[in-house]
Amino acid sequence: VCDELWKALGHQDSLIDASWPAFDATALVLDEVQMVVQVNGKLRSKITVAVDADKESIEKIALSEDNVQKFIGGKAIRKVIVVPKKLVNIVI
């Protein structure tokens, strides 16, 4: 069955004669990472930022999220905790 599917994909030789795929380390490198945004310790949003983004830009992106703005509601922000590549916690 597998050999028939292999030929249906357009390969001329048999599957048993095919070589194993080569390892590509560059495919494992991430350009972006998804981070959790919390307001007072509760999950409110998720953002996608560049892996090398600094804390200020991550904080700016997190504060610009619509759902986060809804829960902040014009209240004074006491503290913003940024753990790079993991989470942003906004304490109000």
Q: Taking the chain, what is the end-to-end CA distance rounded to the nearest angstrom?
A: 61
Q: Would the pLDDT of 28 be above 90? A: no
CATH match of 2-91 with 3.30.300.130: no
Q: Would the pLDDT of 90 be above 90? A: yes
Q: What is the pLDDT of residue 62?
A: 96
Q: What Cα–Cα distance (Å) separates residue 29 from each residue in 24, 33, 35, 83? A: 10, 11, 17, 20
Rg of the chain taking only CA atoms, in angstroms: 23
Q: Which residues contact 84 (CB under 8 A, 6 or more apart)?
A: 53, 55, 58
Q: Is 68:60 a contact under the CB 8 Å cutoff?
A: no
Query: pLDDT tens, 33-70?
Result: 999 999 999 999 999 999 999 999 999 999 999 999 99
Q: What is the pLDDT of residue 27?
A: 85
Q: Is 43:29 a contact under the CB 8 Å cutoff?
A: no
Q: What is the pLDDT of residue 65?
A: 94
Query: What is the average pLDDT across 6-32?
Result: 90
* Boundaries of every domain in the chain: 2-91
Assign 26 a pLDDT band (cuts: 50, 70, 90): confident
